[in-house]
Amino acid sequence: MGNKKSICFGIGITNTNTLVSSIRNPVPLILPEGLLEYFELIDVHLSEHGQLKIYLEEKNLAPSGYEKPQLESKGFLPETAIQGFPIRGHKVALCIKRRRWEILETGAVITRDWNLVRKGARMTTEFGTFLKGIFG
């Protein structure tokens, strides 16, 4: 046993606690990097047809140009399913619920402008491709 080595397989984990929690719940490792900054992992299950379904909901973070006190969350837009790369022979679907907010002063309903997020943020190609999948 003597000489133990940790192998992280290039997943970019530098904190041992993060590695341990990632091994217990490996789903964040297969999601596009940066996705969990904006979305919360809600559920994961394997459908009766063998498809891995990963359910995500947009976090209640005010979109660019707004502050939280100006807005009230008004639930979610209808769910969108984006096909991911197969994992061990199973199809993968990211089931996304995007949030909508009401501007309290005007009553207008808004959503996050993902094109601004894509242009203004440093993100991986994978996350950019994911955003493109949401909007076509």
pLDDT tens digit sequence for 82-120: 887 788 888 888 898 999 999 999 999 999 877 645 554
* Low-confidence stretches of the chain (pLDDT beneath 70): 1-24, 115-136
CA distance 94 to 54: 5
Whose CA is closest to 55, among 36, 70, 72?
A: 36
Confidence (pLDDT) at 122: 46
CA distance 106 to 45: 40
pTM: 0.69
Amino acid identity, position 117? V
Largest CA distance in the chain: 67
Confidence (pLDDT) at 55: 93
